[in-house]
Chain A
Amino acid sequence: MSQINTVPETTKQQLINPNLKHKPDTMLKIIVRKFFKNKLAVIGAIILCLIILASIFAPWLTPYTFEEQNLLNKLQPPSEEHLLGTDKFGRDLLTRILFGARISLFVGFASIAGAITIGTIVGSVAGYFGGWIDSILMRFIDTLYAIPTLFLLITLVTIFQPGVDKLILIFISTGWMTTARLVRAEFLSLRTREFVLSAKTVGAKSGTIIFSHILPNAVGPIIVAATIGVGGVILAEAGLSYLGLGIQPPIPSWGNMLQDAQNYTIMLKAWWYPTFPGLMILITVLSFNFVGDGLRDAFDPKVNE
C-alpha cells in the first residue's frame, strides 16, 4: 500500500527523450557558465586574480622593500633594476605599488565584508518584519544618508588618528545603508512569495525563513553590490589618502603614492611617478565594475544564456 500506482517518472521521461541523462545543472553551474560568456567580466576577473596574487606574493616578487630609501637613486625612470622607476626617496615604485595593493585591496574587501554583513542583517529584518520595525530602521537610514559622507569622513579621520583599522570602520559605518536598502527591497518582494508561506505552514521559525529560505534567493544582487562596492571603497580610500587623511606614509597605498607624486611639483619630469599608481587604481576599479556587471547578468534569470 505504500506505493501508489502512477507512471514511473523514468519511463515518462524516456518516452519524451530516451537519451535524457539525469544530471541536473545546479544553479551555480548555470551562473558560472553565463559569467564565462561575458568577455569583459572574464578579463576583469583575470586581472583581479593577478593583482591579488601579486600583492600576496609581493615580498618574493621584488628584491626591494617598500621603505628602503636610496637618495642617490631618486626619481629614476623605469629601467632594468627598477621596472617602474623610483620615487623621490629612491624607493622602488613597483615594490610600493605591490605593497600598496595589499593595503588598498584589504581595506576594500574588509570594509565591504563588514558593510554587507550589517546591511544584510538590517535590511532583512526591516524587509521581513515590515511595519514599525521597518519604519524605524528606514528612517534611521534616511537620517544617516542626509549626512554628507565626505565631510563625515574628514571629521572622523581628524578626530581619530588615521590608520587602516579606522579607515575600515569608517567605510563600514558609511557604507552599510546602501546594502540595507537593497536587501530590504529584495525581502519585500520575496516575503510574499508562496514558498515563504509554505515554509511558514511547516512551522519554520522567523530566523530560519529569513536566513535559509529568503536570503539565498537574494544572494545574487548582494554579491553584485559587494563587487562593485569594493571598487568604490578603493576609490574612496585613494581619495582620502590623496587628501592625506587615509593611509599614512611610509606605508604605501595607491592614494598616498599619488599624493607623494603631486607634492613633487616636477610631475612632468618624472611622469612614471603619478602614472603607475593612478593606472593601478583605474584598472582595478574598472575590473571590479566589469566583474560586477558580469555577475549581475549571470545571476539574472531573465538574461538568457
Chain B
Amino acid sequence: MSALLEVKNLKTHFFRKKQTIPAVDGVDLTIKKGETVALVGESGSGKSITSLSIMRLIPSPGGEIVDGQVLYNGTDLIELPEKELLKIRGNEISMIFQEPMTSLNPVLTIGQQIIEVLIYHQKMSKSKAKQKAIELLEMVGFSRAAELINDYPHRLSGGMRQRVMIAMAMSCSPKLLIADEPTTALDVTIQAQILDIMKQLSNKFGTSVLLITHDLGVVSEIADRIVVMYCGQVVEEATVGDLFENPLHPYSEGLIESVPSIEGEISRLQSIEGNVPPPENLPEGCRFAPRCPKAFDRCFQEMPTLSKKLSRSVRCFLYEQEEVGK
C-alpha cells in the first residue's frame, strides 16, 4: 500500500506579540490508501492544528506554517497555489468538525449547502445535484431525505446535523476524510451510530480517514493505527493492537490507564499527574518529563528523537538502546 498523505516535519507556529507559540512542532505522519489513522492526545497537544495545517486553513493572521511538507499523492500542498488548493478541498480531502450544531450555515437549507459542493466540484446541473444530495442523505440514514433538503439546520438534532456534515464531506467521494473529534459533542448512542456510518462509508469509497480524538474508546473501534501527540510533537506511533497491548511511551501508557475499564477489580481511576504545559513556556528536554513517572536526569536536559523501529516508533530515552517492537 502506498502513502496517500505524508506529513514531514510540519511546523505550525502562532505569533502573539513577541512570543512564538509552537503549536505543531515537527510532526511526521503517514496515511496509506484506505487506512484509518487516529491522532490522539490531550487538549492543546496540537491535534486540531495539525489537521488544519494539512488543509492549509490555519487562522491567519496569527498562525503560519513555518516549515515542513504535506505531500498528498506526491504534491506538496503547502507549496500549492490557492486556486489549485480549492479544487482539492472538499473534492479530494474533506473535513468534519466537533461542533455539528454550528458547522452548518443557519440561513441556508441543508439541500443548498450540499448542492453547492456538488455543483462546484462535480460540475453537476442543479437538478442532478439535488438528486445526488438526496441519495447522499439517504446513505447516511435519513429516510425522508427528499423533504429534509428543504429544511434549515435548526430543525435538526446534533446527531442529525453531524450526519448531514458527513454526507456533505463524502459528496465528492474524497480520498481522505479528516474528522476532528466528530463524536465528542454527541451522546454515547449517537456516537456509535456516527462511527458506524463513517466506517461503512470509508470502506465503500475506499476513503482514508484521519480521526482526531481524545477518546481511546473511539480509536479502538475504528482505527488501524494510532499516532499519539503531546505538546505539538508525535511521541508514539503504533498499530492499535500494539499500542493497547504494550504502550511504550509513558504518556501513551498514562492515556490508556486513564480509560475506565469494565472488567477487572474496581479501583481508583488512574490519571496523569499535572497539566499540559502552556505552549509558550515548554520545558527543556523531553516535554513530558515534568509529568513522567519514569523520568531520569537526561530527560530534563535533552530532547529525545522519534526513533523508528519496525512497525512502530517512539520518542523516549527509555527505548533508545534496546530494540523496540520485539
Q: Do A and B come from one complex?
A: yes
Which A residues fall within an 8 A CB radius of B? 1-6, 8-10, 22, 24, 26-27, 130-131, 192-195, 197-205, 208, 212-213, 216-217, 219
With A4-B197, A202-B90 known, 12 other A-B pairs at CB within 8 A are: A3-B138, A3-B139, A3-B141, A130-B61, A194-B103, A202-B116, A202-B169, A203-B117, A204-B86, A217-B106, A217-B107, A219-B107
User: What would be 18 A-B contacts, judged by CB atoms less than 8 Å apart?
Assistant: A2-B139, A3-B139, A4-B141, A6-B193, A8-B144, A9-B160, A24-B150, A131-B61, A195-B105, A198-B95, A199-B105, A201-B57, A201-B94, A202-B116, A202-B121, A202-B168, A212-B116, A216-B107
Q: Are A201 and B139 in contact (CB under 8 A)?
A: no
**CB of A194 to closest CB in B, whole Å:** 4
Which B residues fall within an 8 A CB radius of A? 55, 57, 59-61, 85-91, 94-97, 99, 102-108, 116-117, 120-121, 135, 138-144, 147-148, 150-152, 155, 160, 165, 168-169, 193, 196-197, 200, 204
Q: Are A26 and B152 in contact (CB under 8 A)?
A: yes
Which residues of A lie under 8 Å from residue B147 when comparing CB positions? 22
Q: Are A4 and B90 in contact (CB under 8 A)?
A: no
**CB of A183 to closest CB in B, whole Å:** 16
Q: Are B91 and A195 in contact (CB under 8 A)?
A: no
Complex Cα–Cα for A200 and B120 (A): 13
Complex Cα–Cα for A54 and B135 (A): 53
Which residues of B lie under 8 Å from residue A199 when comparing CB positions? 105
Which residues of B lie under 8 Å from residue A194 when comparing CB positions? 97, 99, 102-103
Task: List the 5 closest pairs (A to B, CB-CB), nearest first.
Answer: A202-B90, A8-B143, A6-B141, A203-B89, A203-B90
Complex Cα–Cα for A26 and B95 (A): 28
Q: Are A205 and B86 in contact (CB under 8 A)?
A: yes
Which residues of B lie under 8 Å from residue A205 when comparing CB positions? 86
Residue of A nearest to B197 (CB): A4
Q: Are A198 and B104 in contact (CB under 8 A)?
A: yes
Which residues of B lie under 8 Å from residue A193 when comparing CB positions? 102
Q: Are B107 and A24 in contact (CB under 8 A)?
A: no
**CB of B139 to closest CB in A, whole Å:** 6
Q: Are B57 and A22 in contact (CB under 8 A)?
A: no
In this complex, the member of A1, A195, A202 whose beta carbon has the largest number of chain B beta carbons within 10 angstroms is A202
Which residues of B lie under 8 Å from residue A4 when comparing CB positions? 139-141, 196-197, 200
Q: Are B90 and A201 in contact (CB under 8 A)?
A: yes
A9 with B107, Cβ < 8 A, contacts A24-B152, A193-B102, A197-B97 known:
no
Q: Are B121 and A216 in contact (CB under 8 A)?
A: no
Complex Cα–Cα for A50 and B184 (A): 56
Q: Are B103 and A198 in contact (CB under 8 A)?
A: yes
**CB of B145 to closest CB in A, whole Å:** 9
Residue of A nearest to B160 (CB): A9
Residue of A nearest to B135 (CB): A2
Q: Are B97 and A198 in contact (CB under 8 A)?
A: yes
Q: Are A213 and B95 in contact (CB under 8 A)?
A: no
Complex Cα–Cα for A303 and B90 (A): 36
Complex Cα–Cα for A217 and B259 (A): 42
**CB of B111 to closest CB in A, whole Å:** 12
Residue of A nearest to B101 (CB): A194
Complex Cα–Cα for A8 and B152 (A): 19
